[in-house]
Structure 1
């Protein structure tokens, strides 16, 4: 399509969008709002039940997602029309008008997506170079489609954390602090999440109570209903509230379902007819490409009560709207507010993930003299745990502008610049400093003076992860930022990762141990450094990891086969989404990768011991696929059970040039480190590789792993009289029956498979016994 035709097509689409939006506005205003809300929510519930209860009995996740998006889009327009128009004197319910609203909503949503494609296609250059076209399309489509991309059950945890810094001022202005406000937002989310089922349960309970009342009097229910209502006034009111929740949009009534004070709800709400911009004359009038009123004030006042008509924006925009209005009421707090926001965001990573970072050295606001500019530079948070380094650059502001990308794509581009590229550049400068010398000093600034606080050597860290952290989710840009031409792996190999505080609350639950978290970040970083590999957000990455483990290798293989220049993994978050969907989500098991019990015990011993290099061994074990983990478990179990007769056992498990040497030591006997090193060196010589991970585990007679620690192999470079025994041992290890062959799995992780042994051959486990007297029994 040439430029002129594209402009004509866009103009035609815009005109049709404006016409459709104006009709929707007229229909919404003509219907009493409570009746309209009741109709929309009832339609949603009936359709959701129909989708979930398909003939096959299987849930239809895609159908449910589409329904949620359609319903959400319409509710946004209900909020917009009510905020824009005063209540008419003659509003009446008309089911045909409501049905038409659903059709118009679907039409407007579809037109908006076509507009996004049409106006973004064929853009040859821009602020993001050749990727500008794709990024602009994503910005526009996300603006229209993406809502509520957080888990409702975690609202209280999020708000409690991010508002705690302002607790005293919140109490001063609103009369309630961070904890009470967080509880209110959680109650708001719960009302829309479980409100209908709660109302149904309440109605059934009161109905059964009324029936029992009638039965006790030996009368028909209708004959004693008035008497029951009089005798059970509170129960009758509860039944009435449940009816309102079910059929008149009462689940959106936050005055009823939360304890938030009216002054706070007033700050978050429009009065009828208060909003003047959304449907004002001009380009994009009333279309989704203007700023929906719910992005500014997510509630609406109906009578004396306040309603979260659009539940997702109540969560997505609530945080920003609350802080904005707090500063409107107390403008003198702005400077202190900014300082507190900065402190909160910089501490968040280490604070929220404290269980995943035990014993880590944490440095905040570290300074150094940049070797290029010769000026003092500052970074937010440096975290050092074993051989893993995290550098976190936090951005305390809002994760996205409320200006439409269709009206002002430049502001959206600037948001990307501020939240991603600025953080990346700060990380880039620090990594350059690390590479400037074998060891570099770091400083704190105290009373205007720089005082050395640590020295860091880059060679000590196997994994180094630069992270940009936002308060709120920045999807899909957080996952897509690797495609920006300015973003390259630092020092040629350390890819930049963008996360949000929202993400951290999920990661800490599903990756509860230091080893699990560190390994996920390793894999996540590998995908962050792989261009043309697209997953929508952090939860898609997490779901892919839980399902596939080394999904970075799978993606790399898919790109390598040449069949496509892009790989898109969609719907991978389902395993994560499901974990937070049920009513009893806190009691159910959270999704996790599968490990044999024997391997888990070894990982737990590594975690408990935490000797230097333990995360490297932990990562190595987690790299094994399912079969590799089973093979490891069998060798561990088989040899562990012989430790009562033999004080030490050892074996070698390999995979893709990264074998694992394991030494099991009866805890009743001291570790003979000279012998351990000799056997490990012989094992390395036998496979002609120094890239070998080694671990020593002490095991009690009860089978409990007392400790586990890594050690470095010292393979000799030439034969001498002193190391003759090591070379001879290596030769024995390569004999028939002692050799190791690798069974390569489809995802690139290999597992050991011992060659078939004859009964009188030396056992391949390294015990020194004949096979028939060891593993051949």
Structure 2
């Protein structure tokens, strides 16, 4: 690990695992990174844009024709058979999927065959000539048309629309145009705001304090409503598997008994058929109802029938169900009539009413939109109930972040609703401003600003300004509020904080906090946009100059499940905030940051290294370990392994030890260790093992000093065996610092007892304030240290080449450093 026994090696050029080119485009894959480049000339680019613009009207007509064909087909096919088959095929397509990266284009279409088809049914009056059966040919033709619709919409339409806007002078600037295209793609294709294992719990958290209002509207409590929603979730998630398992177990037991009775001549087959005999045995064994229910799940629509699955009141089911043709907005005149770019009926009402029976076929649309749709129903009751809901919602949204942070940082200090003076340009501090919450853990300060308002419900295709306005309200405004508090905190060495009555409730010292993080937390999970918060200034959303962490309650829920300890979480936060301003890391999801961190640690540096070519970077598949974990958790896997970084045993032991201590700056020590790259971590862990074994025999400790980018000296002590005082350890670190020509050096002192780590301290040593005599002693020690390093290198590797780096650690070539005079 740089104990001056390794010669430096030249960096090797990285070659792609795969490379592909098509005309002016080149794509290269380096592991999970995909690098896109283009060598178009300006003239070639302009010609292509002109061709695409000319095709725009044709593409729009082709999409309209596809929609009309889909409507004409859906209008005559039996809705129940259509959606049952769609659900069955979607289940079959999802069996291979554990992670998002596994999702193919066909898998996405399988889900569209439920949500888009149900939306078309809800908005399409039934045709006069109805088909009683759904044929394979009907299904195949419909699937081909819907596949063509989404492929054309997701690719050709978006490209041609941008080219058309450029040609007609109505294009947004490049940054806004890219945002516009992304927002439309997310709208059409992204479903699932929560991991499935979190869907019901998330709704339960939001509705817990709204029980009085829900009961007034529907006659059921919030707990009752959540329990019924859980039944729907369970039926569509596990119902088929449970029915198969139940039927198999019952059938096995029944047939075993039938065989026994036949072998022992107890079967009366003269007066009844074989089927009647088997059914009688099933009834006698108590499996009759089980077989009937299982048959209903397979052959009928019992899994989707909300009156069989739940006991929800009819008034509730009516409010959240469409009858065929009942919705009049989706196909209303205007732009994008019937296109997935409009608000789809299933977003507003997740259930379908067929012949006075209510069905649910799709969970994502239910749980993604249910809270806000229920909210709208309550708002329609009365103004008083609307304001009560809003007040309850405010309390929920302010309490839940604290709950999650408290799980992540047990024992943290939480300061809610604190007030502070607003520093004006003239320097006066007459007015008080409010900060929603401040959380303190060791030397980290989190400034939490929460927004419970809804992200716009309109489609970006119809109202992009509404999207930008929502981002300003839910990201921009809290970001500026957090920065206002940070400005106050840094206005003096120590500042007062107050309650709403202007009474002082405490003091904060800016020097106590090594890291200060502003968090803009939202109730609505728009992670595809929030993950790019620091880049929103490009589209006119002012988030201030200080990096801000914008995340949703669903993201916090994931983090509170993932991180094994508080110090690991704090280190991730440090890396996350380093990534915030990076132009190389414009990711599509907050959890992509976590996935990159788990894989590459300092993932900002990793992105910088990859971007030397100037190509556009895409990071795919990094959240797969997280997806796999929650997939395993959903299915109740026996052994759940948290997705974590690779931390060798001795470092893991140290970090877990520090997490249990109350010493100040413990997170600084843990972060320093976790900042180390993988080989440094492994070498340090191995060295600690070796030193702990050698010290009792040797009778004294030998330090480890690194060279290069990591300037570290480590001493290991064993309580009651060898304990070196801090002054001696610091002097050695200072000598090592002089030997390598450094301005400062980190000193890590570890003490171990019989049960593992007993003490850990870290300090930064320098030469400031030392006397001339002391400096002279240290320089002599540094000379001795350099001679020892040179001798060790020669002994291990032989003669040092003139142009090699000097083994003393100075960073100079040997010929310009320690080479002996001729």
Q: Could you state the TM-score of these two structures normalised by the residue count of structure 1?
A: 0.85
Match of 1:224 in 2: 274
The secondary structure found in structure 2 opposite 1:404 is coil
Of 432-441 and 226-235, more deviation after overlay is shown by 226-235
What corresponds to 1:578 in structure 2? Answer: 628
User: 1:578/1:518 Cα in 2 relative to 1: closer, same or farther (>3 Å)?
Assistant: same
> Is contact 1:682–1:715 with CA below 8 Å preserved after alignment?
no
* Contact residue 382 and residue 392 of structure 1 kept, 8 A: yes
Q: How does 1:195-274 map to 2 (within 5 A)?
A: 195-218=239-262, 223-230=273-280, 232=282, 235-248=287-300, 250-258=302-310, 260-274=312-326
SS of 2:158's equivalent? helix
Separation (CA, whole Å) in 2 of partners of 1:88 and 1:515 = 63
Partner of residue 76, structure 2? 30
Match of 2:23 in 1: none
Structure having the higher Rg: 2
Kindly report the root-mean-square deviation, in angstroms, between the aligned alpha carbons of the 2 structures: 3.5
Equivalence map 1:702-717=2 (5 Å): 702-713=754-765, 715-717=767-769
Give the match for residue 554 of structure 1: 606
- With 157-166 and 676-685 compared, the bigger mean Cα shift is at 676-685
CA deviations 1:131-153 (Å, max 9, x no partner) are 11001001111111111142101
- Deviations 1:404-458, CA, capped at 9 Å, x for gaps: 111111212211221222222222323333343333332221xxx2123333343
Aligned to 1:144: 188
Unpaired segments of 5 or more residues in structure 2? 1-45, 800-807, 809-822
SS in structure 2 of the partner of residue 397 of structure 1: coil
Q: CA deviation at 1:647?
A: 7.7
Give the unaligned 5+ runs of structure 1. 53-58, 742-752, 759-763, 765-777
In structure 2, which of residues 120, 136, 149 is the aligned counterpart of residue 81 of structure 1?
A: 120
Of 296, 301, 313, the match for 2:353: 301
> Paired residue for 1:97?
138
Report the equivalent of 2:590: 538
Match of 2:552 in 1: 500
- Paired position in structure 2 for 1:17: 63
User: What secondary structure sits across from 1:280 in the alignment?
Assistant: coil
Give the 3 Å change call, closer, same or farther, for CA 296–542 of structure 1 in structure 2. same
Q: Please say if 1:613 is aligned against 2:665.
A: yes
Cα gap change, 1:498 to 1:647, in 2 (>3 Å): farther
CA distance in 1, matches of 2:592, 2:305: 33
Determine if contact 1:681/1:716 at 8 Å carries over to the other structure.
no
1:329 deviates by 4.1
Cα separation, 1, equivalents of 2:718 and 2:99: 53
Contact 1:352 1:508 in 2 (8 A): yes
Q: Offset at 1:172?
A: 5.0
Distance 1:586 1:391 in 2: 38
Following superposition, the deviation at residue 384 of structure 1 comes to 2.1
Q: Are the counterparts in 2 of residues 120 and 134 from structure 1 also a CA contact under 8 Å?
A: no
The match for 2:161 is 119
2 CA distance for matches of 1:122 and 1:437? 54
1:149-548 aligned at under 5 Å gives the runs: 149-171=193-215, 173-174=217-218, 176-218=220-262, 223-230=273-280, 232=282, 235-248=287-300, 250-258=302-310, 260-329=312-381, 331-372=383-424, 374=429, 375-398=431-454, 400-445=455-500, 449-485=501-537, 494-548=546-600
**Equivalent residue, structure 1, for 2:21:** none
Alpha-carbon deviations, 1:463-520, whole Å to 9, x = none? 222221111321311122322226899896x422211111111111221211111111
Instruction: Give the structure-2-normalised TM-score.
Output: 0.81
Contact 1:482 1:488 in 2 (8 A): no
Instruction: Measure the CA separation in 1 of the matches of 2:190 and 2:336.
Output: 19
> 1:698 aligned to 2:748?
no
Change (3 A) 1:538 1:259: farther
1:755–1:72 distance in 2 versus 1, CA, 3 Å:
same
Q: Tell me the distance in 2 between the aligned counterparts of 1:460 and 1:755.
A: 46
CA distance 1:327–1:192, shift in 2 (3 Å): same
Q: Distance in 2 between matches of 1:647 and 1:418?
A: 65
Aligned residue pair count: 733
Distance, in Å, in 1 between the alignment partners of 2:279 and 2:209 is 48
Give the drift of 1:336. 2.7
Stretch deviating more after TM superposition (93-102 or 204-213): 204-213
Q: How many angstroms apart in 2 are the aligned matches of 1:406 and 1:636?
A: 59
Output one character per residue of 1:722-777: Cα deviation in whole Å (capped at 9) or x when no partner. Answer: 56655544444333238999xxxxxxxxxxx997799xxxxx9xxxxxxxxxxxxx
Compare relative contact order (CA 8 Å, sep 6+) and give the higher one, 1 or 2.
2
CA contact (8 A) 1:121 1:133 kept: no
User: CA–CA distance in 2 between the matches of 1:572 and 1:168?
Assistant: 43
3-state SS in 1 of match to 2:772:
coil
* CA distance, structure 1, for counterparts of residue 90 and residue 378 of structure 2: 35
Q: Which piece of structure 1 moves more, 664-673 or 465-474?
A: 664-673
Aligned twin of 1:659: 711
